[in-house]
Amino acid sequence: MPPATSRPPVKANGTGVFTRTAAGGTGVFGTAGSLKKYCVQVEEAIDFSPDEFASVIDVVLAGDKSWIASKKWMFQRVPSCDGANLRIKLAIPKTVDRLCAPVAQTVGKFSCRNGSNIYINLDRWTLGVKHFPDLGVYRQMVINHEVGHFLGHSHVACGGAGQLAPVMQRQSDTLDGCVLNPYPYPDGVHYLG
């Protein structure tokens, strides 16, 4: 994963329009469970490739410590959002705030899931947060966290100082004494909730 740099050029005001969709698709990730088809889009205001964004998401969702470890879900990226169960969208913070407002207060900093849409905050995607020294690990956590919401999981608290943080903990905000963790199944078998 690339190191944190400045965010890509963005128009002053986001369009809130998502017509740029990652091309092609993937095979099925996982071996058992309900198949969730997803598409990946980038807001028109962002000078960032949807295919590049999708390549990171594909790796996260195909990971053996991700949600597929449960054997409850499988994932497949599709080239059109028309047939997708889930739409993962990269957006500028103001757009995220507006589109997430019915379900969450993202205050220019956070990402969210609203229905079948996941809105990833561009600033955090490109810059991360200070308590995650590795941008790639932060991106894994954000995708797994928001997909967890899509799959029906709610927020949980840190289990105790020095323990691995559950992926559904609000790690973008604070680790609260826990050790950062980007995976729902950190050992590839057992869910950490």
DSSP states along 51-99: HHHHHHHHHHHH-TTSGGGGSSEEEEE-S-GGG-SEEEEEE-HHHHHHH
What value does the mean pLDDT of the chain take? 93
Whether residue 64 has pLDDT greater than 60: yes
Which are the contacts of 144, defined by CB distance < 8 A and separation ≥ 6? 60, 66, 67, 167, 182, 183, 184
pTM: 0.93
pLDDT in tens, 92-139: 999 999 999 989 999 999 999 999 999 999 999 999 999 999 999 999
Token duo for residue 3: 């190191």
Token pair 């840190």 is found at 158
Domain ranges of the chain: 20-150
Longest Cα pair distance anywhere in the chain, in angstroms?
45
CATH of domain 20-150: 3.40.390
Q: What is the distance, to the nearest Å, from the Cα of residue 73 to the centroid of all Cα atoms in its chain? A: 16
